[in-house]
Amino acid sequence: MRSDSPYKNIADVRRASEPPKCGSGGATGTGFYFPRLLEETVGAKFNIVLGYQGGGPIDLAVEKGEINCRAMTIESFFAREPFHALAKEKIRQ
């Protein structure tokens, strides 16, 4: 989640009048399944934006502020940039 978004914790996501936009390549991966899992288990709501052609375009959309979040595995998060640099200033984990 972008640190400059109004969503500071899952309670903020649950009570938001406008759900955060999260990017995903399609309806078959972590970017789709994890937000749906949170919707069904804790009552959060997300607007999942489908159609990104891989992780790079999703990362760029988060960095540019087009979307608020991206779901991924912990291995992906810590394995590569831009997350190391972004986590210091733009990403809330």
Domain boundaries, the chain: 10-88
**d(Cα 31, Cα 11) in Å, to the nearest integer?**
20
What CATH architecture does domain 10-88 belong to? 3-Layer(aba) Sandwich (3.40)
Q: What is the per-residue pLDDT across 8-27, written as a single tens digit (0 to 9) for each?
A: 999 999 999 999 999 999 99
pTM of the model: 0.78
Residue-level pLDDT at 87: 60
Mean pLDDT of the chain: 86
Residue with tokens 């960095």: 63
Give every CB contact of residue 86 below 8 A, 6+ residues apart in sequence: 62, 63
Q: What is the per-residue pLDDT across 27-62, written as a single tens digit (0 to 9) for each?
A: 998 899 999 999 999 999 999 999 999 888 998 898
**d(Cα 12, Cα 79) in Å, to the nearest integer?**
28
3-state helix, strand, coil in the chain (%, to 5): 45, 10, 45
Tokens of 83: 């997350």
